[in-house]
């Protein structure tokens, strides 16, 4: 959106977690969204037992938990009001579950849903990987509802933007009449620049939202099966886990030489001083920003195949890929033991990001889709549609 704002006037209506401080985020966002309206969403603040109870109750609803938790009456009303009274060239909805607030599609205005991942596919894969019976039961029921809702959105909207070839194929199979483009996740190349100087030796970073199930599952996998192998061979290695804290049961598992950093003000500096960035993920959808951002900072990356899914990388050229615990630990140890090789791998990753994964490149693809749909709307009979 920041890249689009260089050529277009943008307005933003967004939900936020009322528990989180938003002043700094709001201030930064207003630099490229002068017209910003925020709506507190109580469901985003649910934690622990309260969230589990709400999710279990949703099993008896026709709508998915995603639709229930993202529906905001104040936003829906304000969105309808603005779309009715003001003139717009296009509407972009981030995530299909947010479409629940667009109760009536505007006359003559193309609507695009920007899918960060195909949510039903992500939840389906999560259900097969979960060892928690209650969570597995919930996901097995919920992903089918999400699938119905996502397919309706894809077929009703004028266009869909996805971040990975896998997601593109899924959308095209279910909504062949809808225009769909691949607009991969990217990075701000001016902000994410390779740091000067050498990284701290024997430091590994895993960054992201660790309260997000795929990342939390990755931590369980890392702590139980990979990290002990790394420490056995190289006891000086330190792991920094950066981002929102994972569930308490994972924090309690913390093995030796692991630090939970939580939120950090400067993620560029935090990643830049690490010797290696890792993405030990077993569940995924879309593409992982953490990998693209780490490569932009010329940090060597070790990832699973699913972790790097959707990014056009090649093993031993742009990063190292390893799925089995012993191979993953071996790749980490290899880069720690050979800093020159790690540095060269990081530089090749940076060159790939410069070529294919800048936000300007991604934004241009989304922009082309919108302009095509606007032109198509101008030459087609106008009709009123509802979702």
Q: 39-86 pLDDT, tens per residue?
A: 999 999 888 889 989 999 999 999 999 999 999 999 999 999 999 999
Confidence of residue 26 (pLDDT cuts 50, 70, 90): confident
Q: What percent of the chain has pLDDT over 70?
A: 98
Q: Where in the chain is the domain with CATH 3.40.50.2000?
A: 203-357
CATH of 203-357, one of 3.30.450.20, 3.40.50.2000, 3.40.50.720, 3.30.930.10: 3.40.50.2000
pLDDT of residue 159: 97
pLDDT of residue 28: 79
Q: Is the pLDDT of residue 356 over 70?
A: yes
Q: Is the pLDDT of residue 384 over 50?
A: no
**166-175, 282-291, 353-362, 366-375: lowest mean pLDDT where?**
282-291
- C-alpha distance from residue 147 to each of 29, 40, 140, 171, 308 (Å): 31, 26, 11, 11, 24
pLDDT of residue 321: 98
β-bridge partners, 315: 319
- Phi and psi at residue 240, in whole multiples of 5°? -110, 125
Q: Is the pLDDT of residue 361 over 90?
A: no
Q: Is the pLDDT of residue 322 over 90?
A: yes
Q: Is the pLDDT of residue 385 over 50?
A: no
- 117: DSSP letter: S
Helix and strand numbers (H, E) in the chain are 15, 14
CATH architecture of 4-186+360-386: 3-Layer(aba) Sandwich (3.40)
Confidence of residue 244 (pLDDT cuts 50, 70, 90): confident
> What tokens appear for 323 in the block?
């799925």
> Is 102:91 a contact under the CB 8 Å cutoff?
yes
> Is 43:73 a contact under the CB 8 Å cutoff?
no
Q: Read off the pLDDT of each residue in 83-93 and give the average, rounded to a whole number.
A: 95
> Is 323:303 a contact under the CB 8 Å cutoff?
no
Q: Is the pLDDT of residue 382 over 60?
A: no
**167-171, 212-216, 240-244, 259-263: lowest mean pLDDT where?**
212-216
**30-34, 113-117, 372-376: lowest mean pLDDT where?**
30-34
> What tokens appear for 146 in the block?
């999400």
pLDDT of residue 40: 94
- 367 exposure class (CB count in 10 Å sphere: 0-12, 13-18, 19+): middle
Strand order in the sheet with 276-279: 258-262, 238-242, 203-207, 276-279, 301-303, 320-321
Pairing of strands 385-386, 104-105: antiparallel
């Amino acid at each position: 959106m920041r890249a689009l704002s260089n050529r277009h006037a943008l307005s933003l209506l967004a939900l936020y977690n009322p528990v989180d401080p938003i002043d700094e985020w709001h201030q930064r966002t207003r630099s490229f969204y002068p017209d910003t309206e925020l709506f507190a969403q109580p469901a985003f603040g649910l934690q622990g037992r309260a969230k589990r109870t709400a999710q279990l109750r949703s099993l008896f609803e026709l709508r998915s938990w995603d639709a229930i938790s993202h529906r905001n009456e104040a936003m829906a009303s304000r969105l309808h009001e603005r779309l009715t009274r003001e003139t717009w060239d296009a509407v972009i909805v981030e995530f299909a579950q947010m479409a629940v607030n667009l109760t009536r599609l505007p006359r003559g205005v193309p609507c695009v849903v920007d899918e960060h991942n195909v949510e039903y596919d992500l939840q389906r894969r999560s259900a097969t990987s979960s060892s928690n019976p209650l969570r597995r039961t919930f996901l097995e029921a919920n992903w089918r509802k999400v699938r119905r809702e996502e397919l309706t959105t894809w077929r009703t909207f004028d266009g869909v933007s996805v971040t990975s070839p896998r997601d593109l194929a899924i959308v095209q199979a279910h909504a062949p009449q809808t225009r769909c483009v691949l607009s991969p996740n990217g990075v701000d190349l001016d902000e994410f620049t390779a740091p000067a100087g050498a990284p701290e030796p024997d430091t590994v970073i895993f960054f992201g939202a660790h309260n997000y199930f795929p990342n939390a599952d990755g931590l369980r996998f890392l702590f139980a099966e990979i990290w002990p192998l790394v420490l056995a061979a190289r006891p000086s290695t330190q792991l920094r886990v950066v981002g929102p804290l994972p569930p308490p049961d994972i924090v309690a598992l913390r093995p030796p030489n692991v630090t939970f950093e939580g939120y950090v003000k400067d993620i560029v500096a935090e990643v830049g001083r690490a010797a290696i960035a890792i993405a030990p993920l077993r569940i995924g959808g879309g593409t992982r920003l953490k990998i693209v951002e780490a490569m932009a900072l010329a940090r060597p990356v070790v990832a699973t195949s699913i972790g790097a899914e959707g990014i056009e990388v090649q093993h031993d050229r742009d990063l190292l890929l390893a799925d089995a615990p012993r191979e993953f630990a071996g790749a980490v140890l290899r880069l720690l033991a050979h800093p020159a090789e790690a540095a060269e791998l990081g530089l090749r990753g940076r060159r790939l990001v410069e070529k294919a994964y800048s936000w300007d490149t991604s934004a241009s693809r989304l922009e082309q889709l919108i302009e095509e749909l606007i032109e198509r709307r101008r030459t087609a009979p106008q009709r009123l549609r509802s979702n």
